[in-house]
């Protein structure tokens, strides 16, 4: 029973930081109106928390390997909340960007340490399910942001849309401090257990495929609300509520993918299939008109998040317990590097050409991931 309690805390903690770090796109129309930003400038601003995540992930992973998960996650949750409140208090785009980036730096501790904690408490036969549940944290956090932040920004301004998830992070910092238990650790019996897992290309290929697959995920999550408002004529509150419901299916999809991988005894075969499905969904979104395009958008939002748990589980299993924190940090770094660059690049392509052109080009990312996913020779 203890392992399920640890899993619940990990999900809640990651969902809280996700609502701040990945929830800013739902305030994008209000940020643009209040600060006078173009689509490219606004797209760059809302991904500044991801920059903070990117620069800190490996360091936090190493800290979790050395000092344990609870202390790292407690510091990270508290720091994320305080930095978020500072971002809400300052004036000007520059300082807003700086404190959102600082919030991202602290939130990276949760990404690295919470996955390590979950994997440490579950056996191989349950890891796909456990990590699938753990990965629902992002859809839960993003769903909360989609439901709450547009309405808060419309009623009270974008500052309160930042305050709400920041306070949630501070509350969860207390829960982590008193409720999380580090998994038991056993000393290495053989030198090979502490040897670098990066001596062969398999783990690098998992990282690369996962990084490419995060492109469609971040394109859809960053610009879905803006697309529905500007191209389909929805209002921000209705679009936010709709996208919040979609996140529920994304969360269920992550759990389903985890169970699928446990049943077939493979993380990579389901991951490759998901990559092909994401590419097809992007084509539907690009080529469709009216409701067909919305169906394609929903398919991308749901399917593109289902591979995350598979990539994380495979990374930890290939790395082993003595490298898991650092390997998960590298895994997240690759994904967040793509996420950081893809938003302004995609916005620039949309501005220069059209949504269909940008979405068609984006389909090359999951197709590339399908080609390099290391299916052959996989052993759990």
Mean pLDDT of 218-232: 88
pLDDT reported for residue 185:
65
- What integer best gives the mean pLDDT of the chain? 88
Task: Tell whether the model's pLDDT for residue 357 goes beyond 90.
Answer: yes
Terminal alpha carbon distance of the chain: 25
pLDDT reported for residue 196:
79
pLDDT reported for residue 299:
96
pLDDT reported for residue 251:
84
pLDDT reported for residue 192:
52
pLDDT-derived band of residue 191, with 50, 70 and 90 as boundaries? very low
- Provide the residue ranges of all domains of the chain, joining segments of one domain with +: 2-182+197-372
pLDDT reported for residue 231:
86
Span 323-332, pLDDT tens digits: 777 888 788 8
pLDDT reported for residue 60:
87
What is the model's pTM?
Answer: 0.74
- The pLDDT > 70 percentage for the chain reads 96
Report the distance separating Cα 49 and Cα 53, nearest Å: 6
Mean pLDDT of 181-194: 63
pLDDT reported for residue 339:
80
Structure-model confidence comparison of residues 138 and 22, the more confident one: 22
Span 284-336, pLDDT tens digits: 999 877 789 999 999 999 999 899 889 988 888 888 777 777 888 788 888 87
Task: Tell whether the model's pLDDT for residue 158 goes beyond 70.
Answer: yes
- DSSP string of 204-250, one letter each residue: HHHHHHHHHHHHHHHHHHHHHHHHHHHTT---HHHHHHHHHHHHHHH
Please choose, from the candidates 164, 105, 136, 11, the residue with its C-alpha nearest in 3D space to the C-alpha of residue 336.
105
- DSSP string of 291-331, one letter each residue: HHHHHHHHHHHHHTTTTHHHHHHHHHHHH-TTTHHHHHHHH
Task: Assess if CATH 1.20.1250.20 describes domain 2-182+197-372.
Answer: yes
Span 71-126, pLDDT tens digits: 999 999 999 999 999 999 998 899 999 999 999 999 999 877 877 777 778 777 77
């Amino acid at each position: 029973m203890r392992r399920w309690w640890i899993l619940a805390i990990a999900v809640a903690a990651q969902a809280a930081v996700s609502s701040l770090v990945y929830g800013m796109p739902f305030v994008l129309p209000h940020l643009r109106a209040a600060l006078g930003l173009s689509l490219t400038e606004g797209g760059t601003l809302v991904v500044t928390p991801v920059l903070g995540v990117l620069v800190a992930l490996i360091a936090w992973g190493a800290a979790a390997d050395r000092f344990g998960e609870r202390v790292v996650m407690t510091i990270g949750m508290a720091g994320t909340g305080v930095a978020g409140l500072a971002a809400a208090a300052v004036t000007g785009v520059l300082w807003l960007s700086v404190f959102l980036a600082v919030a991202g730096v602290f939130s990276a501790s949760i990404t690295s340490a919470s996955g390590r904690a979950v994997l440490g408490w579950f056996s191989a036969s349950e890891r796909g399910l456990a990590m699938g549940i753990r990965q629902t944290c992002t859809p839960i956090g993003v769903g909360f942001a989609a439901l709450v932040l547009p309405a808060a920004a419309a009623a009270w301004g974008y500052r309160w849309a930042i305050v709400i998830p920041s306070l949630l992070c501070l509350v969860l910092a207390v829960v982590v401090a008193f409720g999380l238990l580090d998994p038991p650790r056993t000393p290495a019996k053989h030198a090979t257990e502490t040897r670098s897992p990066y001596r062969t290309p398999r783990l690098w290929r998992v990282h690369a495929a996962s990084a490419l697959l995060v492109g469609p995920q971040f394109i859809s999550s960053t610009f879905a609300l803006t697309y529905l408002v500007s191209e389909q004529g929805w209002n921000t509150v209705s679009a936010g509520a709709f996208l919040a419901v979609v996140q529920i299916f994304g969360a269920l999809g992550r759990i389903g993918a985890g169970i699928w991988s446990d049943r077939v005894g493979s993380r990579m075969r389901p991951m490759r299939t998901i990559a092909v499905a994401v590419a097809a969904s992007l084509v539907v979104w690009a080529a469709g008109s009216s409701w067909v395009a919305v169906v394609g958008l929903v398919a991308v939002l749901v399917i593109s998040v289902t591979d995350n748990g598979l990539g994380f589980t495979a990374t930890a299993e290939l790395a082993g317990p003595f490298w898991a924190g650092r390997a998960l940090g590298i895994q997240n770094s690759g994904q967040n590097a793509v996420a950081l660059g893809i938003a302004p690049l995609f916005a620039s392509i949309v501005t220069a050409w059209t949504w269909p052109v940008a979405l068609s080009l984006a389909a090359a990312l999951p197709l590339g991931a399908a080609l390099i996913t290391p299916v052959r020779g996989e052993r759990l």
